[in-house]
Structure 1
Amino acid sequence: MAKIPNIEHLKPILKSNKNTESLAGPRGIIQDYESELIYIADAGSDVIRVFTPSLEPVLKFGDSKILSTPAGVCIVNGVLFVCNWGLHTVAIFSLDGEEITQMKEVTTSNGLSRFTQPIGITYDKHKDEVYICDYGGNMVKRFNDVQHIFAMINKPFDVKLTDEFVIIVTGETVCLHFYNKEGDMIKSIVSSNQGNESDIGNPSFFGIDDKNTIWLSDYRRHCICQISMDGKILRRIGGKKPSRGNTELFSYPTGLLLEKNGCLISACVRTDDQIQLFDIKHFR
């Protein structure tokens, strides 16, 4: 998989033991469009780190007593929801870092349903509904005033919405699953984990741009994939395992954020522990 040229590499933040703001396993990313601040779950440090749009650190909050391997993040009605993988809760904070509560369970038609390794999360602002991937429970939960299990699905990792679909990514041999808003499965597309170079190696977090194309982090193949809604892989950015210091390639990419200005922010772990900002307008 050749690296696609002409990626504008704007600025990386690299791991440094001397830097108190260094990253140690970044995962989920979200932006508050009012303040434009970017919130990143730093799973290796059990904190949330906050950056400006130019990726300058401005704040960090949380500790190992209230966060354990934080993963997906989402802003819901002016507060931050954090999938607290290691503690099996969803932590809720004010945007300036004050802990509000820890959700351990939701009420469904079958009674209480506890979280087990929650990981991916998204918010439907039009219906005021939150979707959470309960990885260990093999389900996606949806809740507002009425809380229920939206879909039973093996090892859901992340979830995003379009006007028509709820799209869930899993680590199965077919990794992208489309549901209507009523919870009915419509289709599954894109092969993964089958050893073929044309497949997705290990899908992680993803986003959907304003042209309704999917941008998916491929953890194993060290790349970001652009995928059409019918399952065609349009391009791969990256694709070779980078060495330390080579900041133009991805190293085990996880979290992904598509900005309104046509840029993509990717979080990479292991080799570099960094976040990178790319201009992808010419790919849209």
Structure 2
Amino acid sequence: MATATPIEPERVKTVIDHTSRIQPLVCASKRGEENDELNSPLFVTVENMTGNIYIADCLNHCVKVFDSTAKYIFKFGDSRGEGKMSYPISLFICMSRILISHNHGILNYNLDGEFISRIGKPGKGEFEFYNPCVMVMNESNDDIYICDYSNNRVQILSKDFIFKSLFGSFTHPLDVKLSKEYIYVLDESNPCIHLFNHNHILQKSVISLGPGNQVLNPYSFSIDNSNNILIADYASNSISIFNPEFQSIHNIPVSEHPTSVTVDYHDRVIVVCEHTVNCLQLF
């Protein structure tokens, strides 16, 4: 079934108050291989037109899709051939496509779960990847930024998946986000978030790691509509929230070991947790 290119509504800037988020509104918690069960979910994203939630279900080797109330809809991931999905790590929706990073490559599917193409190949050169993880699109030119984790860099592709450039000499980049002013890269370094301008020149590094500091073990992060930064802090079992000046403003307790956090168009905070609970939580 063909998927029409969604036209996302213009989002009006609001002031978001996270301090009232203490208990999840919805918690879908099941571990296993059945349709509505998860086994080491690592990343979550939302398709804003439908509100559907897409989860990289790593040890089930597939992507599972839930509606906005956390009710299971369908799953996808070819078991063989070019579209074979093996240990999916992260996913990103761009226009009518969903890109999934797994092993040493990137898979291109449509939103109905039909395989389209494979992007790049394993290696250390241009358009080659070694444990790619989080991806994001630059809305001004549709360039795609990809954290090339074990190659310690960020690669940039055009919307047609043509290599354009790369930057950084990171410890291990985990996540990347964009604003009009900055490129934010979450790295396994201390400080852990690095802010680059759009010429890829480092401007500053923020957020300290370790006991007694701001976060313990960040896995991923999101930037909400008020430019607050939400970090999935794996070791502290919480979502650590910072204002645009990187001052700590709130911590949302979650079930156990959050690996991914995002904010949808209704300003709900959506979290997946792995390890023993393997759950999806909506705040």
TM-score by length of 1: 0.85
CA 1:23 to 1:118, structure 2 compared with 1: closer, same or farther past 3 Å? same
Partner of 1:99: 115
Q: Which has the higher strand share?
A: 1
Partner of 1:276: 281
Q: Is the 8 A contact 2:237 2:256 kept in 1?
A: yes
User: Residue 174 of structure 1 aligns to a residue in which SS?
Assistant: coil
The alpha-carbon deviation at position 111 of structure 1 amounts to 6.2
The alpha-carbon deviation at position 112 of structure 1 amounts to 3.3
Q: Which amino acid aligns with 2:152?
A: N
Question: Alpha-carbon deviations, 1:137-185, whole Å to 9, x = none?
Answer: 0000111155111323220000011111110101212101000111010
User: Residue 211 of structure 1 aligns to a residue in which SS?
Assistant: coil
Q: 1:225 and 1:38 mapped to 2: Cα distance?
A: 22
Q: Which amino acid aligns with 1:36?
A: G
The alpha-carbon deviation at position 75 of structure 1 amounts to 1.2
Q: 2:20 and 2:213 mapped to 1: Cα distance?
A: 19
Return 5+ residue gaps in structure 2 as ranges: 1-18
CA 1:111 to 1:275, structure 2 compared with 1: closer, same or farther past 3 Å? closer
Q: 1:121 and 1:265 mapped to 2: Cα distance?
A: 18
Partner of 2:101: 83
Alignment partner for residue 231 of structure 1, among 230, 236, 246? 246
Q: Is the 8 A contact 2:33 2:60 kept in 1?
A: no
The number of residues matched between the two structures is 259
Q: Does 2:189 correspond to 1:175? A: no
Q: 1:18 and 1:47 mapped to 2: Cα distance?
A: 10
Q: 1:23 and 1:159 mapped to 2: Cα distance?
A: 25
Partner of 2:14: none
CA 1:16 to 1:189, structure 2 compared with 1: closer, same or farther past 3 Å? closer
User: Residue 25 of structure 2 aligns to a residue in which SS?
Assistant: strand
Q: 1:270 and 1:185 mapped to 2: Cα distance?
A: 34
TM-score by length of 2: 0.85
Q: Is the 8 A contact 2:59 2:87 kept in 1?
A: yes
Question: Alpha-carbon deviations, 1:1-37, whole Å to 9, x = none?
Answer: xxx7752421111124484320001112111122322
CA 1:203 to 1:64, structure 2 compared with 1: closer, same or farther past 3 Å? farther
Q: Which amino acid aligns with 1:260?
A: Y
Q: Does 2:137 correspond to 1:132? A: no
Deviates more, 1:156-165 or 1:6-15: 6-15
Partner of 2:264: 259
CA 1:236 to 1:250, structure 2 compared with 1: closer, same or farther past 3 Å? same
Q: Does 2:180 correspond to 1:166? A: no
Partner of 1:72: 90
User: Residue 198 of structure 2 aligns to a residue in which SS?
Assistant: coil
Give the superposed CA RMSD.
2.1
Q: Is the 8 A contact 1:226 1:233 kept in 2?
A: yes
Q: 1:152 and 1:12 mapped to 2: Cα distance?
A: 38
Return 5+ residue gaps in structure 1 as ranges: 239-248, 279-284
